[in-house]
A = this chain, B = another copy of it.
């Protein structure tokens, strides 16, 4: 999956790039609108993330020009907080989704995946792994068919696990994906949430869905799709 990020704030652009690369995307960066337009015309990206305020050529114009050229790459528009008109203009110009800055990286990744899924014609918001299934639209979780009520953070942790099954996930990685920024490093919140998740999902200790890898992190060990 190849993604183009058109963003002039270098720091933010790099952050977005890093997170996307963690999800196995190939990422190209562009720091102004005209370069972004050139790239999106040249390459068949699977997705583009475009800031609305850009040097040389603003995001809206970029999208309009691209759509005029019949470029169908799904586009997520990044807008400033609260400017509702911009969002409408963006969708009108041909963006597929928008996100207001500042945003949670999780949110962006979720929308990226949703958009890619939508483009692939698979609008299925449910993940399942073993007896556990999760619906990201309703944020409901079931285990053996029974609904398991989770709190907001418990849900976030589980969702991240199920999006990355069998992958070794360090506590810092979890933290970074669950909190926007600024978090206390010497805290055991993650451990507590993992504990509660294990209790709620697997009260009898049969499944062992979350494996501990000492000094490295956790691994979610249920066969996806089962």
Known: A18-B91, A92-B18, A152-B215. A168 touches B139 (CB 8 A): yes
What residues on B are CB-neighbors of A137 within 8 Å? 166-168
Given A214-B152, A216-B152, A219-B138, CB of A182 within 8 Å of CB of B18 = no
Copies in the complex: 2
- Taken together as a complex, chains A and B put the C-alpha atoms of A166 and B92 apart, in Å, by 28
Establish whether residues B83 and A182, one from each chain, have CB atoms under 8 Å apart when the complex forms. Answer: yes
Contacts of A18 in B (CB 8 A): 91-92
Instruction: Type the 1/0 row for A55-85, where 1 means its CB is closer than 8 Å to any CB of B.
Output: 0000000000001000010000000001111
Q: Which residues of B contact A22 (CB under 8 A)?
A: 88, 91-92
Interchain CB contact under 8 A, A216 and B94:
no
Shortest C-beta distance, A142 to chain B (Å), equals 13
Tally A residues with Cβ within 8 Å of B.
41
Shortest C-beta distance, A88 to chain B (Å), equals: 6
Q: Which residues of B contact A83 (CB under 8 A)?
A: 182
9 new A-B contacts at CB < 8 Å, known A15-B94, A18-B91, A138-B219:
A10-B118, A22-B88, A22-B92, A82-B185, A85-B181, A138-B167, A140-B166, A152-B215, A152-B216
Residues of A within 8 A of B (CB): 10-11, 14-15, 18-19, 21-22, 31, 67, 72, 82-85, 88, 91-92, 94, 96, 118-119, 121, 137-140, 151-152, 166-168, 176, 181-182, 185, 213-216, 219
